Amino acid sequence: MSVIPLKKDMLKLANPKQAALLQGFFKTGPGQYGEGDIFLGIKVPEQRKVAKKYKDLSLNELQELLKSKIHEHRLTSLIILVDRYKKAKEQEKKNIFDFYMKNTENINNWDLVDISAPNIVGGYLNDKEKSILYQLAVSKNIWEKRISILATSFFIKNSKFDDTLKISELLIKDEHDLIHKAVGWMLREVGKKSQKAEENFLKRYYKTMPRTMLRYSIEKFDEKKRKFYLS
């Protein structure tokens, strides 16, 4: 199998008007976080159909897609990887995880991270040593930082919060809005499982954490409690 027919199929689905909207939404202008990213304008459900058709692409072929400047090529590659990971046996899961970690420079927008890191990174590390997440959390690369915190969503689903809270602590002074949102989101997910665990964290940091992070984290609280934390 080759990536050439996949690329041809995706070109047929291209929507210039949608592409123009996405270029703005994903901040692709000079100096913005997605600078230089190119969009075809293909919606995610359509990309999932393409991913299903080309689910048997080799890792080398997926590597070619991940190196593409076209956003949808990279996203479709990651959708294939996630679907494959879910069905894989342990050795193949390790191969996919290793492949993913070698490609973090190509997983370089928030939707690419969010669709892949929880299942592949979180899923693989769930019952393993997790120091790699702490290395990612102190990276100079914003997307590696986001991978570190988003991966913990898999742990949260299994009612394991320690790594989420420790990594949140490492990222609490980060300057980027996308990290503020990601940390706040994961703290909110902790709160859905254990409001006590989330509030223990918030009581230590709510006065100094970025406002966006705080707002995201308390979104599900009742009005009285939200006002307390925002006051």
**pLDDT beneath 50, residues of the chain:** none
Residue 94 is which amino acid? Answer: K
Q: How far is CA 18 from CA 9, 39, 114, 149, 196, in A?
A: 17, 9, 21, 30, 43
- The predicted-structure confidence for 139-166, as pLDDT tens digits, reads as follows 999 999 999 999 999 999 999 999 999 9
For the question of whether the overall pTM of this predicted structure is more than 0.85, the answer is yes
List, in sequence order, every residue forming a beta bridge with 1; answer none if it has no partner: none
**Segment 102-150, tens digit of pLDDT:** 999 999 999 999 999 999 999 999 999 999 999 999 999 999 999 999 9
Residue 163 · residue 127 · CB < 8 Å: no
- Contact predicate 174/204, CB 8 Å: no
